[in-house]
Homo-oligomer: A and B are copies of this chain.
Amino acid sequence: MTVGDVTAEPGPDARTRPQSAIEKFLRVRELTDLLASRLSPEDQIPQSMTAASPAAWHRAHTTWFFEEFVLGGLPGYSSPEPIFRFLFNSYYEAVGPRQPRPQRGLITRPSVAEIGDFRARVDEAVVAALEAGRVDERGLELLELGCHHEQQHQELMLIDAKHLFAHNPTDPVYVDRPADPVAAVRGETDWIVVVEGVAQVGAADPAHRAGFTRDGGSRDGVSRDGVSYDGFSYDNERPRHRVWIPGGEVATRQVTVADWKQFMADGGYTRPELWLSDGWAAVQTEGWDAPGYWRREGHDVGSASGGASAAAAVEWTTFTLSGRRPVVDAEPVCHVSFYEADAYARWAGARLPTEFEWEVATTGWEARDELDPDRCHPRAAAERAIGGVWEWTASAYLPYPGFVTEEGAAGEYNGKFMSDQHVLRGGSALTPAGHTRPTYRNFFPASSRWAATGVRLAR
């Protein structure tokens, strides 16, 4: 990882390679702006609950990340707007005090346009520094981390916008899209056998992969232990390590809306024996009787209405980023909490997979249904594929054996949240391309429902 005399006389390679980092950086930045462009300045302000953040804040916070960790490391750099450090730091204690989280929705100045200027200024400075070869190895690592960080916030910005719009009785449309053709729904799922024994899980050592490099040196793309890789990983996916996998089976497709309706029809939300204690308490406190955003639409169907029974007249809609729509049987169920996922599994005589059997079972499956800005909604559930909705696992979010955080303030990225949350695997229809990978560990508290979270069974 030695670098040598970079600045003076870079060869043609050194001139082109960074371009790749610039391209990736700008592509990420542009997607954020594209996604935000469908939100008015007004839409970008509210924080609809403490766990959510305003779109303007997402846009500024991701920019701050680059200013703090990449530009901040450049000799002589100082921010022209130091107050942004206070406003747009999320939780990095080592960086200093910050706007209280529940008050992010009160930041109306800088304006949305000024946040756009902030983005442009930082983009320009980052690109200039990259072009000048002034970003060192650690800076490049942090640049890459910042790109992945911003991709995570792209997804958060979308689920937060959905949560906001769902509270607006005018049913705002984020993106219009035609209804899908009706897809066939298979009642039963197939199962894939996971063999008992020791398996290797987790992402390879980043020292052994090709990242954003300044010197353009090629990395081999294969780790010492023979597992191929070539992508980025977060610290929480590492180190790659051995686990004992008990024998079991994992379903080849996700639980669908049609499946969930059966659970509901069978009293799923009213039978305490199906639920974890905290889950049953949440059902009663929150009044859950269906997945998040679902709403029962009433019909006046008289008893003399002929073929259609009264029960058939109950129709469920759900709020989507294309407005309120009827639920679609073939789609994976979405916006369910861990507690609901767990209760469903118990009802089905099954269980949730651990994150490790999930990782083993889904090896080689297609990663599909990633973020399409013109759709922003899962497609019908597919066989032997991940994506569309995140999948709750039975595993708590804990550090892997030998877990080491990133150096410096960036070390607060993941590790300090390793308690009282559950691991989700896969990816959703709001997850930017590349993030739906076998070792990725998403995590939310057990009661969360505003992310695009669904269920896959094991047994």
* A residues neighboring B (CB under 8 Å): 40-46, 48, 56, 83, 86-87, 91, 93-94, 99, 103, 105-112, 164, 167-170, 172, 198, 241-244, 246, 248, 272-273, 275-280, 338-339, 342, 351, 394-396, 398-399, 401-402, 412, 416-420, 422, 446
Contacts and interface: CB of A to CB of B under 8 A. Distances in A.
A170 B109 contact: yes
A38 to B, nearest CB: 12
B41 A42 contact: yes
A6 to B, nearest CB: 32
B280 A93 contact: yes
Contact of A43 (B103, B109, B402, B420): B109
Contacts of A45: 42, 45-46, 108
B244 A242 contact: yes
Contact of A105 (B44, B46, B416): B46
B86 A169 contact: yes
B172 A275 contact: no
Closest 8 CB pairs of A and B: A396-B396, A246-B401, A93-B272, A42-B108, A244-B244, A277-B416, A45-B45, A106-B167
A339 to B, nearest CB: 7
Nearest to A56: B42
B83 A419 contact: no
A270 to B, nearest CB: 11
- Copies of this chain held together in the complex: 4
Contacts of A243: 244
Contact of A419 (B91, B248, B276): B276
A149 to B, nearest CB: 17
A168 B107 contact: yes
15 contacts: A41-B41, A42-B108, A42-B112, A45-B46, A87-B169, A108-B168, A198-B244, A242-B246, A244-B244, A273-B412, A276-B418, A278-B417, A279-B419, A338-B419, A396-B398
Given A46-B108, A395-B398, A417 B276 contact: yes
A170 B83 contact: yes
A91 B416 contact: no
B46 A273 contact: no
A387 B425 CA distance: 38
A41 B398 CA distance: 43
Given A242-B246, A342-B419, A419-B342, A40 B278 contact: no
Contacts of A398: 394-396
Given A83-B170, A87-B170, A278-B419, 16 more contacts: A40-B41, A40-B111, A42-B44, A43-B109, A46-B105, A91-B277, A93-B273, A93-B280, A107-B168, A110-B170, A198-B198, A198-B244, A273-B412, A276-B416, A278-B417, A394-B399
A272 B280 CA distance: 33
B402 A42 contact: no
A450 B190 CA distance: 48
A395 B244 CA distance: 16
Contacts of A44: 42
A351 B399 CA distance: 11
Contacts of A42: 41-42, 44-45, 56, 108-109, 111-112
A36 to B, nearest CB: 13
A108 B167 CA distance: 10
B108 A43 contact: yes
A65 to B, nearest CB: 17
Contacts of A168: 106-109
A90 B349 CA distance: 26
